[in-house]
Amino acid sequence: MRVPVIKTKLPGPKASELIKKDQTFVSPSYTRVYPLVVDQAEGIWVRDVDSNVFLDFTAGIAVNATGHCHPRVVSAIKNQAEQLLHMSGTDFYYTPQIALAERLAGLASVRGDRRVYFGNSGAEAVEAAFKLARWHTRRELNIAFYGAFHGRTMGALSLTASKAIQKKHYHPFVPGITHIPYAYCYRCHLNLCYPECGVACVRWIEDTLFRTNLPPEEIAAIFVEPIQGEGGYIIPPPEFHKELHKLAQKYGILYVADEVQTGMGRTGKMFGMEHFDVVPDIMSLAKGIASGMPLGAMVARSEIMDWEAGSHASTFGGNPVSCAAAMATIDLLEETLMENAKEQGELLLNGLREQQINHECMGDVRGKGLMVAVELVKDRETKEPAKDWRDSVIKNAFLKGLLLLGCGENSIRFCPALTVSPEEIDTCLTIFDEAVLESVE
Ligand SMILES: Cc1ncc(COP(=O)(O)O)c(C=O)c1O
């Protein structure tokens, strides 16, 4: 069985040199939580520049769906690169963009006939949805959620309400967006308990927000993540999206599912919204869609995507190499990986739930497929967030060769490649358990 191999003090000598250079030349706005300098990666294993080997449960922030450098994705990239690198799908036609649009239109759980817009990132996919919702409805208002992360361009950032640092000094934002609380049952803003609450958080929107402050007939869209990602891998109760979608339909409001993190098989279904039995009007996709090549897509009902030539476009969006990587990725997801995400996700979730019995600090363990999180608290009764413990667990896991990332204020996320094996889940659980012991108790 393969295990992490840490040969040097971390960071090692080569990594230290490179980090020094990075600190001179690279933007200081990036959020590196530990000093990992990657050299090479394969599957779920990452080697740093000092030849230390790590088990990667971050997948490049939930991107490397098929694992690092999957041979079939690499081969699709190579073949396409030899044939056509770029032509700009904005001004010209080419096969990979058309073929991927057809494939996504067939896959997407969007109502009716669908069309696809291509960009290069999650933010661009959300930005496109934001503009299309305004274009189609000619309405100016929008709803988004506290805890939501939709990206960092000014439109997408205006919809984001994840961490104040992301918005500091950037006001004013695009006007007309109202943020409301997400269905975060572990910390219900109405102080109610599910299921007795009857999903009162959705009723509150109509009874309070629409009645007092926000005329619903002026709202273009509700932007919502099926499961909040950066916000803490927060899974709403089963009825939440259904009720919210019903409300949206009642007032002709578009339902925009931001599937950038939940999409492409990560939750064990192709799209996160499928767990909630809701078919949105528009969806945004990125991250796992092309296994690491830059690509974003916005899929909408054809009758909604009624904007004119010139109203929105991107030079690089739908690049042929990224499209080829996406086709190979979708093949792999459909063949085995989506199913594997479901099976390994259950193993991981059960393993963490067993550890929760012994670790008081593991306040909540939640997940769908390979989108799994542990929320750390100082006290199970008060649920006081334990951000310092969370940070320390992540750092200690790194020193032991396990790569993890945080999410929300005090949660740790587990989002490995969908190729992860039961043995790799076991190794992760063993190291995580040790890291929690060292960091907290
Ligand atoms: C749900 C969601 N939407 C949008 C984005 C923005 O994606 P990108 O960083 O590719 O712009 C992210 C990134 O984490 C995300 O999780």
Mean pLDDT of 73-95: 97
- Determine the atom of ligand 1 nearest the C-alpha atom of 121: 10
- Determine the atom of ligand 1 nearest the C-alpha atom of 153: 11
Distance 335 CA to ligand 1 centre (A): 26
Distance 151 CA to ligand 1 centre (A): 5
Per-residue model confidence (pLDDT) at position 109 = 76
Distance 226 CA to ligand 1 centre (A): 13
Are 320 and 87 in contact by the 8 Å Cβ rule? The answer is yes
pLDDT tens digit string along 133-144?
999 999 999 999
Distance 342 CA to ligand 1 centre (A): 22
Span 71-332: which CATH code? 3.40.640.10
**Is the minimum distance from the CB of 404 to ligand 1 under 6 angstroms?**
no
**Is the minimum distance from the CB of 123 to ligand 1 under 6 angstroms?**
yes
Asked, as a colleague might, if the bond just before 11 is cis with ω within 30 of 0, I would say: yes
Distance 259 CA to ligand 1 centre (A): 9
Q: Pick from 78, 73, 84: which is nearest to 42 by CA?
A: 73
Instruction: Answer whether residue 287 shows pLDDT above 90.
Output: yes
**Residues pairing with 115 in the sheet:** 300
Q: Pick from 412, 273, 270, 437: which is nearest to 348 by CA?
A: 412
Contacts 24+ apart (CB under 8 A), 67-71: 67/42, 67/43, 67/417, 67/418, 67/419, 68/41, 68/42, 68/43, 68/44, 68/292, 68/417, 69/41, 69/42, 70/43, 70/291, 70/328, 70/332, 70/419
pLDDT tens digit string along 2-44?
999 999 999 999 999 999 999 999 999 999 999 999 999 999 9
Mean pLDDT of 191-199: 96
Instruction: Answer whether residue 108 shows pLDDT above 90.
Output: no
Distance 416 CA to ligand 1 centre (A): 17
Q: Pick from 54, 2, 67: which is nearest to 404 by CA?
A: 54
Q: Which amino acid is at 14?
A: K
**Is the minimum distance from the CB of 259 to ligand 1 under 6 angstroms?**
no
Per-residue model confidence (pLDDT) at position 213 = 95
Distance 315 CA to ligand 1 centre (A): 20
**Which fold does the domain 13-69+336-439 belong to in CATH?**
Aspartate Aminotransferase, domain 1 (3.90.1150)
Tell me what the pLDDT averaged over the chain comes to: 97
Protein residue with least CA distance to atom 3, ligand 1: 150
Residue boundaries of the structural domains of the chain:
13-69+336-439, 71-332
Instruction: Answer whether residue 327 shows pLDDT above 70.
Output: yes
Q: Identify which of 118, 124, 126, 293 to mutate to test ligand 1's pocket (most ligand atoms within 8 A of the CB).
A: 126
Instruction: Answer whether residue 55 shows pLDDT above 80.
Output: yes
- Determine the atom of ligand 1 nearest the C-alpha atom of 229: 16
- Determine the atom of ligand 1 nearest the C-alpha atom of 286: 10
Q: Residue 441's pLDDT band (boundaries 50, 70, 90)? A: low
> Rounded CA gap, 284 and 288, in Å?
12
Residue % of the chain over a pLDDT of 70: 100
- Give buried/exposed letters for 226-242 (b at 16+ CB in 10 A, else e): bbbbbbbbbbbbebbbe
Per-residue model confidence (pLDDT) at position 112 = 81
pLDDT tens digit string along 306-324?
999 999 999 999 999 999 9
**Is the minimum distance from the CB of 150 to ligand 1 under 6 angstroms?**
yes
Protein residue with least CA distance to atom 4, ligand 1: 150
Q: Identify which of 121, 287, 295 to mutate to test ligand 1's pocket (most ligand atoms within 8 A of the CB).
A: 287
> What's the chain's Rg over C-alpha atoms?
22
Residue 123: which residues within 8 A CB-CB, separation 6 or more?
Answer: 150, 151, 152, 153, 156, 157, 296
First to last CA, the chain: 29
Distance 160 CA to ligand 1 centre (A): 10
Phi then psi for 153, rounded to 5 degrees? -70, 165
Mean pLDDT of 189-203: 96
**Residue 81: in which H helix or E strand, if any?**
helix 71-83
Distances from the Cα of 411 to the Cα of 73, 165, 378, angstroms: 32, 18, 12
Are 270 and 93 in contact by the 8 Å Cβ rule? The answer is no
Distance 132 CA to ligand 1 centre (A): 18
Instruction: Answer whether residue 94 shows pLDDT above 70.
Output: yes
Instruction: Answer whether residue 401 shows pLDDT above 90.
Output: yes
Q: How many residues make up the chain in this entry?
A: 441
Which stretch of 89-98, 101-110, 221-230 has the lowest confidence by average pLDDT? 101-110
Per-residue model confidence (pLDDT) at position 111 = 74
**Is the minimum distance from the CB of 225 to ligand 1 under 6 angstroms?**
yes
> Rounded CA gap, 378 and 355, in Å?
16
pLDDT tens digit string along 141-163?
999 999 999 999 999 999 999 99
> Rounded CA gap, 1 and 407, in Å?
30
pLDDT tens digit string along 216-274?
999 999 999 999 999 999 999 999 999 999 999 999 999 999 999 999 999 999 999 99
Mean pLDDT of 334-350: 98
